[in-house]
Every structure is written in structure tokens, then in C-alpha cells.
Structure 1
Amino acid sequence: MLINLSIKNYALIESLSVSFQDNLSIITGETGAGKSILLGALGLVLGKRADSSTLKDTTNKCVIEAQFSIANYHLESFFNENDIDFENETIIRREILPSGKSRAFINDTPTTLQNLQSLSEKLIDVHSQHQTLQLSDVNFQFQILDALVNNNAKIESYKRGLQLFNKLNKELKELKKNQVIAQEQYEYNLHLYEELEKASFKSNEQAILEQQLDKENNIEEIKLNLTEAQDLAVNEEIGLQALLVTFTYSLNKIKTFASEYKELYERVLSLKIELDDIANEIENLNENIEFDPSELEKLNNRLQLVYNLQKKHNVTSIDELLVIKEDLSVKVDAVENSSAQIKAKEKEVNEVADKIDLLAQTIFKEREKAIPVLIKKLETILSNLGMENTRFKFNIKHTKSYFSNGKDELHLLISANKGVNFGELKKIASGGELSRIMLAVKAILSEYSKLPTIIFDEIDTGVSGDVSQKMADIMHEMSSNMQVITITHLPQIAAKGQQHYKVYKQDINNNIETKLMQLNENERIEEIAEMLSGKNISKTAIEHAKQLLN
């Protein structure tokens, strides 16, 4: 419930702080005294947008604080989800700076307007005069029905399912769209892929091929030099092998005379062994080397294939061609496997659809059960409010379409008098009748919802006399389950409150300010008497006021 409202530097309010209690509280005041200013300030802490035009003194910031007692309303999850400290008495603060920027806080933790709005929906219902138009809103009508049968948990589950259903449907459409696009390029991509697959390139193949081709193109020069090298090695007279034998023999004769001679001998001997091995290698290479036109042609063709495909794909290496091949493989597979993917996704969509269809059917059946109960309650309350001939008809139909709260269409029709055909609410009911219907709806909802506080802003518009007394009784009864704050201009309603506050204007040093005070018993008598007879209060009005209060 709302415990305290503090307002500084807002519109005509310099500084104001008011404490509220449970049960029924009444706010009265002359037209233009500033009752709407109070609601405007409260609206800011509940998440409505503001700008610097709301500041009384444009050089200072506006600060509005609302303190709520929330211990019994199971709101801990909201605070945990938004990383805000939970307090049994929670303070919401809104600051409007002269620049027009605003800041919002919950228990001194900075927060967003969206969070304020989310929290305020769980704390308070402010019913202003224009909100009677809600009665014609089909979503509001559904809220009434769903509250009677406690459909909220099912609807939340349905909404989560619908969110998943829409996500999967979007993915399915994307798969089908991609399939169409990919299909158009499939044949070409398949040709490119098969061309690269047939080539069977290896990562370092190009360098090897180019080296082999270079060898084949210079085979004669290679053979000539190998022959010359072989002759230099094995020639019996001047060959390196013969000379090295003589060289070795000379050192062999002196190797025993000193260690350094022996070391030289061993080194030359190693050199001779290496030279013999090289000579044999040259001989083998020379014997096996020969010009092969077919091998040259094969190498040329293979390298030409490499160069052609590199040019075709605008790359310079086989590694890049291998990357392109892998990418083409993915594109080809995507088309070849897309039908299976689409079928799998369709299966997912259908499974989720079956689940939310079942939920929607349950929600529909519960709503059907709620309709006769709601109609009976509405007609009973309205009968006591002078609308005894009013009849309601709710036409509900289960459809194939998915809506945010189920799959149902709802039409509310009303007949306000005997013999009058049913018609749309906004076309049939007057302003006063709409106010009474809304009060009846709120009274019914108060039995089923756990909303801590409701504020009525002149819901008594268009009614008077005995009807206003009955409306007061309903609000008083509602206040046994929740905090009710009513702004009224009718004395019959004002007299029903456990607490009574008066909004008034005061001229302070030629500066008009809006004030609010709680009235004591004598002040209440005078205020209600003034509401009955005007500024010139008569003894009769005083007596009548006392009777109303008693």
C-alpha cells in the first residue's frame, strides 16, 4: 500500500508530504485546487515521462518520492531480477532536472522508467476519468475474465510458448528463403565443387610440380654436367678419386709419427669415403636420367590446370583453392540437406504449436466458465447502482489465429434498458453508466486480484443522490481487501472515508501554491457541508454533513 507521498518543486507545489493509511481515504477540493497535480506527480514515480515544464522553479530540480509497504505481495523476484535491494518499505524516487533530464531510483538504486512501470503495475491502479474507455478495450475485457478463473499462469506459459513458436517460425521461413536462393546457384556451385574435387590438389603440390617441370626442361644440361662431374671424379689419371688415393697414401706413411699427422690422415680418409659415395651417386643419377616427353606433357598439363583454376577463382595458391572448395562443399550440402533441415524445423514448429494450442484451448474453456459468473456479479452490483435493467452478453469464439493472450475473439455487448437491443458498450452507455460499470468491474477484480492500492479519480462523474451512496458503499467494501483512495466531488462518497484529505490553494507572498492537509472531525464536517451547500454553509448543511458521517 501507499504509505507516503512527498513532492517538491512540481507544478504549483513548493513542498508537500502526505501520509496515507489503509482502508478508504478521501481526497476533496475545489475544481482547480490541484487534485490532478497530485495524480500527475504520482504518475511520475510510476514511470510516466516528464520534462522541465513541470518544474515550479526552473532553476531547481523536482523530487517526488512514494513510499510503499510491500511485505505481503511476493515481489522479491522482481527485485532479484533487476539487482535491486528488496525492502519491506520500498521508496521510489523520481528527479526531474532543470535540463529536462530525469532520473529514477528504487531504494536508492538507479533504475529505468520501464522498471518503474513494471513495479507500479504490481503496486497501484490509478483509475482516471478517461480510463472508463478501457471497458471497450477487448484486452481489458479478457483481463477481467482471466482474473475470475486465475488464468494468469496459463497465459504466461502460453506467451512463452508463443514467443518460441514465432522464433521457430522465423527460422523456418529463413531456411525456406535460403533454400530458394541456394537452389538458384546450386548447379553452378556443384560444377565448381566437382571441378576442384576432381583436381584433387595437395597443399604443397604447386611448388613440387614447378620444380619437376624445371628439371624436365633442363634435362640435357643436367646430363652434361653430371657426365662432366663423373669424369672429374673417376678419371684414372687426373680424376679426383685417383688424386685423393695418392694424397691419402702420403699421409698414411707419416700418421704414426705424431697425433696431428694421424688426425690429418683420418680427415682425408673421411673425405675420400665421402667422395667415393658422391661419385657413385653421380654415376647412378647419370645412368637413370633421360628425357621423357610424356612426363613433360603431364607436368605441363597439371600445372596448367592449377593456373587455370587459380585464374578462374581469382586466387594465387592451391591453399586458397582448397578453402574455396570447402566453402562450395558447404553450399552444396546446404541445398542437398535443406529439405531435411526444413522438415526437422517444421516438426519443431508443429510440436510447439500443439502445446500452445492445448494451452489456448484450456484458457478458452476457463473463460467460458467465467462469463456467466462475471455477468451475474456485474448485473447484481449494477442493479444496486440504479442500473437494474442492464444486461450483458459476452460472445467468445475460439479461432485458429494466435493472439498475445490466447486464440480467442471476444465481443462485449450491453443492453441498458428493457426492450433495447444489445449493442456495443461505447455506443449504448452514458458517461455516468460507464463510471458505474467500471466501479462494478473494479469491485469484482478486487475480490480476485492482490493489487495493494487503487486510486479512483472522480469515478462518480455523472451520478448523484442514492446512486452515489451505493457507490460509496462499494468502495468502502473494497477497502476491506485493499487500500482505496478516492478523489470525489460528492459528499455522500466523501463521508464514507476513514481518512479525509483536502487539496487547496494558498497565496504565499503573491505566489499561489497547492497544499494538502488531513482533516480532523470538525474540519470534515465543514468540508462536507460546503460540498452540500457551497461557501455559505447553513446549519442544515452542517446537520446533514454530521448525518452522512454517522
Structure 2
Amino acid sequence: MLQKLLIRNYAIIDELTITFDEHLNVITGETGAGKSIILGAISLILGERADTSVLINVAEKCIVEAHFDTAGNAAFTQLLQEQELDIEPITIIRREISTSGKSRAFVNDTPVTLTILNELTSTLVDLHRQFDNRSLDDSGFMYAALDAVAETQTLATQYQNAFEDYKLLQKQYQQLLQDQAAWQKEADYNQFLFDELEAADFKEQEIESLETQLKQLSNAELIKNTLSEGYMVLAEGEQPLTAEIKRIVQQLQHIIPVYPDAHDIATRLNSAYEELKDLANELSHLQEAVDLDAGQLQEMQERLDLGNRLLKKHALSDTEALRAVHQQLAGILSAQQQADTTLEQLKAAISQSEAGLEKQAQSLFKQRIAKAPVFAKDINELLQLIGMPNAAFKIELQPATQFNAFGKDSIQYLLDANKSGKFATVQKAASGGELSRIMLSIKTLTAKALQLPTLIFDEVDTGISGEAAKQVGILLRSLGAYHQVLCITHQPQVAGKGHKHFYVYKAMEQGKINTRIKALDMDERIQLIAQMIGGEQPSEAALNNAKELVTVS
């Protein structure tokens, strides 16, 4: 719901603030007073382009700001989430046009493009201008209206969900077909690469381990000699170090009884003896472990060469990356082998989905085609009342060969505007004012069932008067019971039906003309509507007529 509109420095509006009612708001005023200018400002909020020609004061920027109560608008909230915009119960949308003509748009103070703004506001405002009732050329709206009166909305939603699942299955099937075609081109090469890695069968960190081992084996003789020399010094030389330390320990043991201070040194030397004896044993074991087998050295070198060649071939740096490629190729080959089976499974799922869709689509078509003539009859009755006595409206449903987002049929709203016996699409057959009245009739009949944004009608009563204008007012009033409606009108019969009445006028202020808007109280409404009936100085009869026209909320 549009709560408040602020306009600053736009056309002949220096500054205005308008607070709207949640039901039917009527806007009246003399021609040229600025009603269409206010509509133009709202259009900026909806994402239309603008330039510096709208600036009343070229030294200041133009600002149009709208406050919407969006707490219960699920579609709008979802769009905000998709665009990663802040979600607030009151959404503030602002357009700024700088003195250079540069335009910027903001949603809750976050900059957005006009494309995004247009998408967002399409869920907030539905603007009906003459020759601009695009909903009547939108299959989605036409189906939604018919489903609302046919009470098939739940079935339509179920069908649409099933249709999305069906499209997903088809997409998966086509993708797998494409993958399979690509696999076939590379199948032999992938198999060769896999076989090569499978034969190599490198273990975890094997290539890195081979490099370390080969460095050791390449220096095996030096290592063996060094270990042997150390062992000889400790245990097997002419005067082994361990034997000498053992001899000293034994000598110290002899003097301890007469020289107790030698006890600690003897103990420590004995510990050193045991440690050196262990070290000698370890040197011996290490020496024995060093293998000078030339055959083993060659085998390891060949294995390392294979590993390095495969790393280079696949542009990799270590064993684990090579093993990952091995596993990836295994997965590709497995998927290739399973592709035919998966394709058959998807084909079966698509067939099953089609059967379900067919059943749902036929049920929808049956109920829609039964209700379409009744819906058209109701619309025709309303059109008779609102100044289109020669119009004939009908809904044409035709079976289709393919499923679509709404069923397995096609829909058209058709009109014969002048009893010619020739029907054409509503957009082609109706004038601008007639389009607005047809849309008003449709939305009145579906008001209870459809969730609609704020509806704005720009002179929906153009070309009618009297009883027809009265009926338009009644329809707008009934529509306003369920939705917020803004209507610009010149007809007293329509103005009298508003829950809130705004009067737009021009005022001379500080030597220049500005547009002003005023929310009228009851007495002001009666006076103004009487003037719309009888002129500037309305008669008592005009005043009494005005009192009868004004509907008390």
C-alpha cells in the first residue's frame, strides 16, 4: 500500500506531501492544475526515465519519494531478497534527478538500477493509463483472472509447480545428452589417461618419498662408510671408546671405598658407557640397513621418472593431485557407463511427469472453459452499466499441443466494441478509456480472490457521464473495499464514491505558480462536487445532488 508520496522541485510542484487512504482515493481538479504531473511523479517511482525538463528550479535537484507498507507483500519481499536489499516493513523508494540530468534510484537508501526498480515496483503499483493497460495483453494476468472466478487457483498453482519440475527433468535430460555427446568425442582419450594412471597406481606421497630415498641411495657408500667409521671408533677399533670408558669405570670402583667422592663420577661415566654402547649398536644397524643394490636403485629411478612424466603431462605438482585426477577420470568413465541407464530413468520420469501434467491441464481446461462464458457474461453486464452498451466481451480458450506455464491451452480476451460481429483482441478493439473500464470490470469481479498491488486509474471515466459514470464510481468503491485504489477523475459521480478526496489546484506564491493538493473534509467535498455539477456558484439543487453522491465511509 502506498502510504505517503513526497514531491520536491518537479514540474510546477515546488513541494508536496500526500498521505493516502488504504481504500479508494479520488483526485480531482481543473484541467492543467497538476493531476497528471502527480501521476508523472509516481511514474518516476515506477522506474520511468526523466531529464532536467522536470526541474522547476534548475539550481536544485528533483526528489520524489514514496513510502510503501510492504509488510505482507511476499512477492516484493522475495525480490528484495534476490537483489540482496534491506527488508523493512515500510519500504522507502526515492528518485533523484540532479541539475545535470543524472538520475538515481534508491530502495531503502540502497542505489538500484531503473530495471531493478521497475521489477520491484511492478509488485507494488499497477498503473492504468489510457492505451497503457498491458495486463490485458499478458497471458499470466488473463489466466489469473479466469482462475480467480473459476476457483481453480489451487489447481493452477499445483500445475505450475509440477510444470517447473517437468522443465527441470527435461533440462537434466538434455544436459545429459549433451554431456554424453561430448564424452563420446573424448571417451578413448579419457580411457587411455585412466589406464595409464591405473597402471602406475601411485600411493600416497609416493613420488615425494622416492625423491628422498633416491637422494639417500645415491650417497649410500658415503653414508655406509661414515656410519662404519663411527661404529669402529665406539666399539671395534684398536682402542674402542666404549672399552676405554668401561676400564676407567672399573678403576674408579676400586678407589670408592677409600675415596667416596669418586662415586658420582663413576656413576656418570657408567651412564655414558651405556649410552655410547647403544649408539654403537644403532650405528651398526643403520649401516646394515643401507642397501647398495644397483638393481633397486634403477627400479626406483624409473618409478620416479614415470611419476615426474605424469606430473608434467597433467601440469601438476605432487602425488596427491595426480591421484585426484585418477579419481576424477574414474568418475567420468563411470558416469559415461551409467549415462544410458540414467537417460532411460530420466525419460521414464519425464513420461510420468507428462501424464500427471496432462491430467492436471485437462482438469484446468475443463473448469476454465466452463466458467469462461459466465465470467464474460458478468463482464458484459458491467460494461453495459459503465458506458459500453454496444460492447461484447468474450474469452477464447483453445487446446494447445504443448504444455506451457499455465496449462495446455491458449487464452485470449476478445472484444467486439460496436456489435459488428467481428471480435479482435481487447488491445486492438478497445479505445484507451474502454481498456481502462474493461480492466476495472475484470478487477472488480476478481477483487476478493486476487492479491493486487495499489491500483491507479487515470481518467477511467473518460467519455462517459450520468448513470455510466455512477456505475464506474460504484465499481471503484467496491474495488477499494479490498485494495488500495487511486483514481484521477472529472466526474462528480466517481468523485463522490471515494473514501478520501484530494483536490489539486494551482496557487500563485511569491510570484510563481505552484501545484497544491488538499485532502477535503465532508463539507468541502460536497461544495466541490456541487461545483463539478453546477459550476462555480452551485445552486441548492446542485448541492443537494452532491450530498446524495457523496458516499459516507
TM-score normalised according to structure 2 size: 0.71
Deviations 1:518-539 (A, max 9, x none): 4443343223334xxxxxx798
Deviations 1:380-402 (A, max 9, x none): 22233454554344332454645
Q: Cα gap change, 1:52/1:170 in structure 2, threshold over 3 Å: closer, same or farther?
A: farther
Structure 2: runs of 5 or more not aligned = 549-553
Q: Cα gap change, 1:24/1:34 in structure 2, threshold over 3 Å: closer, same or farther?
A: same
How far apart are the structure 2 equivalents of 1:114 and 1:301? Answer: 68
When structure 1 is superposed on structure 2, of 159-168 and 266-275 the one drifting more is 266-275
On the 8 A contact 1:310/1:321 being kept in 2, the answer is no
How far apart are the structure 2 equivalents of 1:500 and 1:481? Answer: 18
- 2:526 aligned to which of 510, 521, 529: 521
The alignment status of 1:42 with 2:47, answered yes or no, reads no
- 1:314 aligned to which of 312, 315, 318: 312
**Shift in Å at residue 321 of structure 1?**
4.5
Q: Tell me which residue corresponds to 1:8.
A: 8
Deviations 1:362-384 (A, max 9, x none): 54444334312211111222233
On the 8 A contact 1:2/1:68 being kept in 2, the answer is yes
How far apart are the structure 1 equivalents of 2:122 and 2:291? Answer: 94
Instruction: Letter of the 1:522 partner, please give it.
Output: Q
Q: Cα gap change, 1:305/1:185 in structure 2, threshold over 3 Å: closer, same or farther?
A: farther
Q: Tell me which residue corresponds to 1:444.
A: 445
The alignment status of 1:324 with 2:322, answered yes or no, reads yes
Structure 1: runs of 5 or more not aligned = 531-536
**Shift in Å at residue 487 of structure 1?**
1.9
Deviations 1:116-163 (A, max 9, x none): 768866665432112245424333322321332355555555555555
On the 8 A contact 1:96/1:103 being kept in 2, the answer is yes
On the 8 A contact 1:23/1:482 being kept in 2, the answer is yes
Q: Tell me which residue corresponds to 2:506.
A: 505
Secondary structure in 2 matching 1:94: strand
Deviations 1:327-369 (A, max 9, x none): 1332133122345364466677667666666655554444334
State the structure with more CA Rg: 1
**Shift in Å at residue 499 of structure 1?**
5.6
Instruction: Letter of the 2:527 partner, please give it.
Output: N
How far apart are the structure 1 equivalents of 2:181 and 2:321? Answer: 25
Q: Cα gap change, 1:515/1:242 in structure 2, threshold over 3 Å: closer, same or farther?
A: closer
The alignment status of 1:193 with 2:194, answered yes or no, reads yes
Deviations 1:35-60 (A, max 9, x none): 11111223445565656653433444
How far apart are the structure 1 equivalents of 2:95 and 2:433? Answer: 37
Q: Cα gap change, 1:479/1:181 in structure 2, threshold over 3 Å: closer, same or farther?
A: closer
**Shift in Å at residue 8 of structure 1?**
3.0
Q: Cα gap change, 1:52/1:104 in structure 2, threshold over 3 Å: closer, same or farther?
A: farther
Q: Cα gap change, 1:48/1:347 in structure 2, threshold over 3 Å: closer, same or farther?
A: farther
Q: Tell me which residue corresponds to 1:142.
A: 143
On the 8 A contact 2:155/2:364 being kept in 1, the answer is yes
How far apart are the structure 1 equivalents of 2:127 and 2:315? Answer: 73
**Shift in Å at residue 255 of structure 1?**
5.4
How far apart are the structure 1 equivalents of 2:529 and 2:272? Answer: 130
Instruction: Letter of the 2:37 partner, please give it.
Output: I
How far apart are the structure 2 equivalents of 1:388 and 1:499? Answer: 30
Secondary structure in 1 matching 2:254: coil
How far apart are the structure 1 equivalents of 2:43 and 2:181? Answer: 52
Q: Tell me which residue corresponds to 2:551.
A: none
How far apart are the structure 2 equivalents of 1:226 and 1:141? Answer: 97
When structure 1 is superposed on structure 2, of 245-254 and 93-102 the one drifting more is 245-254
Q: Cα gap change, 1:274/1:436 in structure 2, threshold over 3 Å: closer, same or farther?
A: closer
Q: Tell me which residue corresponds to 1:533.
A: none
**Shift in Å at residue 409 of structure 1?**
1.7
The alignment status of 1:381 with 2:382, answered yes or no, reads yes
Q: Cα gap change, 1:92/1:441 in structure 2, threshold over 3 Å: closer, same or farther?
A: same
Q: Cα gap change, 1:179/1:488 in structure 2, threshold over 3 Å: closer, same or farther?
A: same
Q: Cα gap change, 1:419/1:183 in structure 2, threshold over 3 Å: closer, same or farther?
A: closer
**Shift in Å at residue 93 of structure 1?**
5.5
On the 8 A contact 1:6/1:16 being kept in 2, the answer is yes
Instruction: Letter of the 2:383 partner, please give it.
Output: L
Calculate the aligned-residue CA RMSD, in Å: 5.3
Deviations 1:205-248 (A, max 9, x none): 45435655765xx79x989x989x99xx98xxxx7279998998
On the 8 A contact 2:397/2:409 being kept in 1, the answer is yes
Q: Tell me which residue corresponds to 2:96.
A: 96
**Shift in Å at residue 511 of structure 1?**
1.6
Instruction: Letter of the 1:382 partner, please give it.
Output: L
How far apart are the structure 1 equivalents of 2:427 and 2:381? Answer: 21
How far apart are the structure 2 equivalents of 1:491 and 1:504? Answer: 17
On the 8 A contact 1:50/1:96 being kept in 2, the answer is no
Q: Tell me which residue corresponds to 1:337.
A: 335
How many residue pairs get aligned? The number is 521
How far apart are the structure 2 equivalents of 1:190 and 1:488? Answer: 77
Q: Cα gap change, 1:527/1:242 in structure 2, threshold over 3 Å: closer, same or farther?
A: closer
Secondary structure in 2 matching 1:131: coil
**Shift in Å at residue 278 of structure 1?**
9.9
Q: Cα gap change, 1:60/1:177 in structure 2, threshold over 3 Å: closer, same or farther?
A: same
TM-score normalised according to structure 1 size: 0.72
Secondary structure in 1 matching 2:527: helix
Q: Cα gap change, 1:101/1:271 in structure 2, threshold over 3 Å: closer, same or farther?
A: closer
